[in-house]
A and B are shown apart, each in its own frame.
Chain A
Amino acid sequence: MIAMDRFQNRNLRFILWMSLIAALVSSCYNSTAGLTESDPNNSDAAIKYAQRFTLEKTDSSAILTVTDPWQGAKGIRQVYHLVGRDLETTGWKDTSAIIRVPVKSVICMSTTHVAMIAALGRIDAITGVSGAGFIYDPRVRERIGRGLIREVGYESGLNHELVLSIAPDIMIAYGIGSESAGYLGKLKELGVKVLFNADYLEKDPLAKAEWIKVFGALFSLEQPADSVFDSVCESYNQIKGFVQRHSAGKPDVLLGLPFRDTWFVSPGDSYPGRLIEDAGGKYLWYDTKSTVSMPLSLEEVFLRSLKADYWLNTGSAASKSEIASLDPRLQEIPCFNTGTIYNNNMRISPSGGNDYWESGIINPHIILKDVASILHPEMFPGYELFYYRKLE
């Protein structure tokens, strides 16, 4: 097992682990509560953007704390102790919060988790996914086809027996609401380690990407994870700065599609709102604040959309005629005639998996460049869109 560690992780961390084993023998007999009290100062500094998790290094383990892991959660903290596989934990009171690292078998409930693992080059560790049809990565799909990765179902349709038979080191889940914790409760009871990933709740594009550090800790690949994130940050901020310095104006941007006569509008302080801001655009609802999408009447959105220069993220609509068939009145939105409608559906797998929702999480710089080049085409001559596509 130690050899394995060294193989995967030829870095200082390994030496650190080894030198700390002696200290560990005493400290791991402390209760988990004792461990969480350890000095947090050396950890938070490492997390720059993410709001929903902290990662603390202690002598014996890393403590991962996920805060408010689902929408509307208040004051909920989930603490996980990432402990090396070769370390003794016999004295720990609560073993359910211990995750042995590096993990070797992972079930991913979201495509974003798959993308993070893929970015660390550890697709081989994925043993189960939820919604196999929504996955874009051809390597993952190939492994699903070969039966190396199983479909475990989702929410209430979760196949508990299959999960138990896979017996993953960890199941990475996400919660839509507090009751979501319920369907996973049984699995926890049966000893499956469930980690709530709140990447989708992060409002900042870079904060979402920063969750790769969690995966880095899980796979004991902290340095590769840090370097992926650092390079993403660098590219993102470079593009952001370039746009801010050189763009001529801020075009108005409309987002999304209505459902019947209600348009669920993303608030200004949301991920798409911030991304448009960083790409040198002005989101039509940039001044709104909310934790959830706001249900607005179609006429309200329509009136505001009259001044939109661009219309992005048209959801399921892959062509202008599909938008028109949804509601013929949407053709009256000026973008419809100027042809400035773009959707993030350039990369779709045959079964409908959209890479924007998968690798997009770890490539905010590419999404930013796409949007910036849509809003300011003169600044990115010859750039070919990666996730986005113009609707015809």
Chain B
Amino acid sequence: MKSITPDRIQPRDHKALIFIILAVILLLAFCLDVLLGSVSIRASDVLAALFKKGDPGIETIILQFRLPKAMTAVAAGIALSVSGLQMQTLFRNPLAGPYVLGVSSGASLGVAIVILGFSSKFIPGNIQTLGNWALVISAWTGAGAVMMLIMFISSRIKDIMTILILGIMLASGISAIVSIMQYFSNETMLKAYVIWTMGSMGNLSAEQLKVLSVTVAVGVLLSLLTVKMLNALLLGENYAASMGVNLKFSRLMIFAGTSILAGSVTAFCGPVGFIGIAVPHIVRNIFRSADHRILLPGTVLAGGSVMLVSDMISQLPGSSGVLPVNSVTSLIGIPVVIWIILRRKRETGSF
């Protein structure tokens, strides 16, 4: 393998080709995710259902189960990968990801309070009757509270590594509180909570999918505005500052983008691991570039595809059982992260 630097100079049309391929893969993965599932449905029946001409049962499965699930997977994959990319650049750390600042622990605390805290006064199973929105709102509140705290800290503290360490400490502290709540809860509540932490793509109602799509779109737009800042930050904070980048403002923008992206995905789908860490690295290696004008759209395309593939695997097409999606993303993401670490031994990374 050659060293990275000469490879980075790629012809423009080469990059355009990669973008086209990634877009085709995304489209293909989306179609496959709709086509494949626990229930075997023929492609012709899927088409008939899309035009509302088929069997009503199949139609409901395609239009109300698989399409929303595939759309959720795309939105979640994009959101996590983009926020992972931002965090890795901001912290100049290849292992940073959307959850490095404690967004997911904040969300878990919110959910734990609802599932493990409150409901202990009622029947343990009662949590289910709180409905679809209870968990979403509580997760959002928890994630939002943590992000506000981090933003407040970052407005006071200059050193980015201190912020990273504080973020990790905050996350560990919150996990400890959640552990205490788990310790004192019974097995029904514990199961409900554990299932939430395993993540799922297929539980969003139509309105929730709308909310998720809008928030992810807003988050991605915010991240597009930070592209220049991110490129400057690659060269170090001091250099970026000398180039006229307002460090505090850009941090605020990046944190806001990340909290919107990672926070809403965690709220709707649970904490989905490793996608946010692995996808930016995959994209950097495909494009052999560190330019966020290329990485960001690349991450959007690849993030959606990887999440769709993970969702497909978790549905175990052909069998009636399902796997928790969080395990699948971890099993896909972990080898990627290991590969990155091993490569970095031999080559200079992009940080």
CB within 8 Å of B: which residues of A? 131, 133-134, 154-157, 176, 257, 259-262, 294-300, 302-303, 306, 315-318, 322, 325-329, 332, 352, 354
Contacts and interface: CB of A to CB of B under 8 A. Distances in A.
B37 interface: yes
A372 to B, nearest CB: 25
B347 interface: no
Nearest to A325: B131
Given A156-B184, A317-B128, A332-B64, A261 B123 contact: no
Contacts of B157: none
Contacts of A322: 129, 131
A297 B318 CA distance: 12
A296 to B, nearest CB: 5
7 contacts: A259-B192, A259-B195, A297-B39, A302-B61, A317-B129, A322-B131, A354-B123
A328 B63 CA distance: 13
B292 interface: no
A134 B186 CA distance: 12
Nearest to B119: A316
B196 A260 contact: yes
Contacts of A298: 65, 202
Determine chain B's interface SS by DSSP, over half rule.
helix
A388 B186 CA distance: 25
B64 A329 contact: yes
B186 A316 contact: no
Given A257-B128, A261-B69, A295-B321, 6 more contacts: A157-B184, A262-B322, A297-B320, A298-B65, A316-B123, A316-B125
B226 to A, nearest CB: 33
**Would you list the 9 A-B pairs with minimal beta carbon distance, nearest first?**
A261-B202, A325-B131, A316-B125, A297-B38, A300-B38, A260-B203, A352-B123, A299-B65, A297-B322
A326 B133 CA distance: 9
Interface in B166-201: 183-184, 186-187, 192, 195-196, 200-201
Contact of B129 (A295, A316, A332): A316
Given A131-B186, A352-B126, A326 B131 contact: yes
A326 B206 CA distance: 13
Interface residues of B, number: 39
B162 interface: no
B66 interface: yes
B11 interface: no
A157 to B, nearest CB: 5
Contacts of A300: 38-39, 320
A180 to B, nearest CB: 9
Nearest to B206: A328
A326 B60 contact: no
Contacts of A327: 132, 203, 205
A295 B321 CA distance: 6
A107 to B, nearest CB: 17
B127 interface: yes
B269 to A, nearest CB: 9
B183 A156 contact: yes
B57 interface: yes
B131 A302 contact: no
B232 to A, nearest CB: 42
A358 to B, nearest CB: 13
Contacts of B200: 260-262
A204 to B, nearest CB: 23
A352 B202 CA distance: 30
A328 B192 contact: no
A315 B128 contact: yes
Most chain B beta-carbon neighbours within 10 Å: one of A306, A329, A354: A329
B284 to A, nearest CB: 33
B202 A328 contact: no
Contacts of B60: 302, 329, 332
Contacts of A317: 128-129
A391 to B, nearest CB: 12
Nearest to B123: A352
B126 A316 contact: yes
B315 interface: yes
Given A316-B129, A322-B129, A299 B123 contact: no
Nearest to A332: B60
A183 B131 CA distance: 34
A297 B315 CA distance: 7
